[in-house]
Amino acid sequence: MINTKRQLAAIDLGSNSFHMVVARLENNQPHTIDAIKEMVRLAAGLDDRNFISEEKIEEALACLSRFGQRIKDLPPENVSAVGTMTLRKARNSYSFLARAEKALGFAIDIVAGQEEARLVYQGVAHSMVQTETNRLVIDIGGGSTEFIIGQAYNPIKMESLNMGCVNFTNQWFETGEITEQRIQRAILSARRKLEWISDEYLDMGWQECIGSSGTIKTISRILSENYQTDGVIDYDNMQKLSELFVTAGHINNIVLPGLSEKRTPVIIGGLCVLMGAFEELQIKTMVASDGALREGLLNDMIENSQGRDIRMDTVANLEIRYRLDSAQSARISHTALQMLDQLELGEEKNLCLIQWASKLHEIGLSISHNNYPKHSGYIVEQSDMPGFSRELQNTLGLMLRFQRGKLNMEIIEASPRFHKDIVMIIIVLRLAISLQRSRDWNTSIKIKIKLKEDQLKLKFPKDYLDNHPLTKADLSQEKQEVLKAGYRLKFK
């Protein structure tokens, strides 16, 4: 829970820019007191094998070090930092994150595209006057563009597509040359990416269209300063702007009021993405918002401090959707939490993981009873889960995958940012599920658990195991699996 007497900081490691906003709380609302932006262009550092170059990594680390100096005195719970499309795509993202977290001084999560869209919408929604009508929010980043339809503070439909100002500029204007033919090809590419969602979005409809991000704010500013549009973006004026770019002939020749030198190298790609969106979604006009992903992060921290954790809402919705046995999950959760407490592993993150895993462990039964743990892991890893980072979602999926059956330590230890606590949490989950197999466990029964060096001891009430031979047999089998993790399981 955040310290409400201290400042908050949100950091967005975008594909084009790194942003940091620092705010103070006033009447439970964030008020920005500092904002820093650096054009790192992380996406431009990806090679043809999707590895971020060392040169670009060093540039990113230097930026994060400067950010870290500004917020070094803040408690960890008051800082939220996320990476987006390029870090989702990069094959060396987790090795980069280990160095990036050291430079920043705080943890960094990679968010999935749907989660990025949700955060963008929250940032926009909390920066504008609320209405009960549908609004379409579009955020053009360096590597992806998010499309969200929502009402008030609630996103209804969210998509994240692999197109942004950096990757579109690199793909369609690689040499820097700008022609009408290249622009039309880029616009058509954007329309093709949007084609599979456009019908559903048009059927849902909206009454206002809001743009977020530096690209859209820059286009709004250029149009205002060159065509007196008063901040409104429309297709005809974007067409005029594209003609100016064709006249310039090359990215290096573009000089326009309202366009900064740092934004110039990627503006043509962003313009084509936006024109494609206007065409495919039949958008008439758009206005730009100051709210974005980082403001969404601030809002999430504030809501969590007030007792609302959207991740709990997400898990509860999955429970309802898949008609899971809530009584059984409660028994497993109760047993596992008692064990974690005795093992002194009661950190908030560990407790949450156990509770979520307990609630969702049978979700795979919706596919098949055979090998349902594997199906459970797959469903959780592949589902859209608002509030969850990619790493957290993968960890939860890993727990469900190995909740029963054979432990594969190679897979577990190869998981991103592996730490040994995860192994013990998986073991505790397995033990709790084994003890609750009959679904009639009396939660008042106290089990003592103790870890000394590599020996894990379970102590049951007198004669309990003799009266429950199935439990005893399960634990005997579990010995072999726990041994793979480097622990000797004993029970009596």
The answer as to whether 363 is a domain residue is yes
pLDDT of amino acid 180: 97
pLDDT of amino acid 129: 80
From 304, 336, 368, give the residue that closes a domain: 304
Tokens of 143: 């590597």
* Pair (299, 282) in one structural domain: no
The segments of the chain whose pLDDT lies below 70 read 1, 4, 439-444
pLDDT of amino acid 462: 86
The pairing of beta strand 8-13 with beta strand 488-491: unpaired
Contacts of 444 (CB under 8 A, 6+ apart): none
The answer as to whether 477 is a domain residue is no
* Pair (434, 319) in one structural domain: yes
pLDDT of amino acid 130: 80
The count of domains in the chain is: 3
* Pair (140, 167) in one structural domain: yes
* Pair (193, 275) in one structural domain: yes
Domain that residue 255 falls in: 128-289
From 426, 443, 460, give the residue that closes a domain: 443
Question: How far, CA to CA in Å, does 213 sit from each of 64, 291, 297, 435?
Answer: 20, 8, 15, 51
55-83 pLDDT per residue, tens: 999 999 999 999 999 999 999 999 999 99
* Pair (201, 335) in one structural domain: no
Is the CB of residue 21 less than 8 Å from the CB of residue 35?
Answer: yes
Candidates 320, 289, 154, 300; CA nearest to 213 is 289
pLDDT of amino acid 132: 85
* Pair (147, 270) in one structural domain: yes
The answer as to whether 228 is a domain residue is yes
* Pair (182, 211) in one structural domain: yes
Q: How far apart are CA 133 and CA 131, in angstroms?
A: 6
pLDDT of amino acid 315: 93
* Pair (68, 143) in one structural domain: no
The answer as to whether 2 is a domain residue is no
* Pair (201, 336) in one structural domain: no
* Pair (284, 209) in one structural domain: yes
From 443, 460, 483, give the residue that closes a domain: 443
The answer as to whether 148 is a domain residue is yes
Provide the CATH number for the domain around residue 267: 3.30.420.150
Is the CB of residue 286 less than 8 Å from the CB of residue 232?
Answer: yes
pLDDT of amino acid 442: 65
The answer as to whether 448 is a domain residue is no
Residue 468, judged by CB atoms within 10 A of its CB (0-12, 13-18, 19+), counts as: middle
Q: How far apart are the first and last CA of the chain?
A: 39
pLDDT of amino acid 131: 81
The answer as to whether 173 is a domain residue is yes
The answer as to whether 326 is a domain residue is yes
pLDDT of amino acid 440: 66
Provide the CATH number for the domain around residue 37: 3.30.420.40
